[in-house]
Amino acid sequence: MAKEGYGTAGGKAAAAAAACNPNWASLQEKLKGRKPLVSLASLDNGTRATSALGKRKERPDTVPAAPLSTPSILAPTSEDFSLTEALAMDCEMVGVSFQGNKSALGRVSLVNTWGNVVYDEYVRPIEYVVDFRTKISGIRPRNLMKAKEFSTVQKKVAEAIKGRILVGHALHNDLKVLLLSHPRKDTRDTAEYQPFLREGRKRALRDLAAEILGAKIQQKEHCSIEDARAAMFIYQKHKKEWEKNIMKQFRFNKKHKNKHRKKSMPEQTPKAS
């Protein structure tokens, strides 16, 4: 039977090294009192931190985490994941049809007022995908392997945005690929808002994000979550004035409509006595 502490080949080698070099024994004594930086047990028992969006959003272990001392400008401002009064939406498209020049929904993301993701799904288009448009959409073939059916996603989005203010950039494109509509009075489009126009022309979301938020987006591949957050935070920054303009426009349209209605009504001639 082996003696205690030297029962293995590794133990015998350590004992031999200690006998030959007294510094080895001193080093071993110092290391005994040190604690590991990360508990291996915590990694094995399932307590490793995961993303709120599930495994699909997890980063590989080889990618270092962003330093906590420099929070992103587009980071959520609360831990509230509820469906708030206003939701921002952004979609990424893939190319279908023979030449791939027809757009189909590939991914849709919804964030709430605080920038938290309330819905985010890759979508399997009804038609065959010819062009994934990865350089812009960020979508790859593997993302659509277990993607949701279009009808399922369409229904979920329709339920989420119903009766709510919908924020986004060029929302007519997103609603078009979703085959949905939304009341104009409940739409806040950063591409259409008059104060954001430059010489009457619409501006790109990345330009508005840089100017208004100081955030750099769409540097390479687009991210629908990031774009939705940018649109929401731009809206929130101008919400007071924006809503005031909406009310003025609503009152003007109502007054003009009533005036037009009175003009179109035929005058009643008094009856002869």
What residues have CB less than 8 Å from 141, skipping those under 6 apart? Answer: 132
Q: What are the CA-CA distances from residue 67 to residues 64, 72, 83, 226, 246 (Å)?
A: 9, 10, 29, 19, 41
Q: What is the pTM of this model?
A: 0.68
Tokens describing residue 201: 């022309």
What is the Cα–Cα distance from 94 to 129, expressed in whole angstroms?
A: 7
Distances in Å between the alpha carbon of 8 and those of 13, 31, 91, 128, 272?
9, 20, 61, 61, 124
Q: Are 74 and 115 in contact (CB under 8 A)?
A: yes
Distance set, CA 143 to CA 115, 147, 218, 254, 265 (Å)? 23, 7, 19, 47, 59
> Which ranges constitute the DSSP H helices of 9-123?
9-20, 22-32, 40-44
Which two tokens mark 216? 């750099």
pLDDT for res 237: 97
| The residue to which tokens 């939701």 are assigned | 87
Residue 51 confidence (pLDDT): 37
pLDDT 10s digits, 187-231: 999 999 999 999 999 999 999 999 999 999 998 899 999 999 999
Full DSSP string of 163-226: TSEEEESSHHHHHHHHT----GGGEEETTT-GGG-BTTB---HHHHIIIII-----SSS--HHH
Which amino acid, residue 258? N
Within the chain, which residues score under 50 in pLDDT? Answer: 1-10, 12-13, 17-18, 20, 31, 34-71
Concatenated DSSP letters for 105-140? EEEEEEE-TTS-EEEEEEEE-SSPEEE--HHHH---
pLDDT at position 185:
93
The single-letter code of the amino acid at 94 is V
Phi, psi of 77 (to 5 degrees): -100, 5
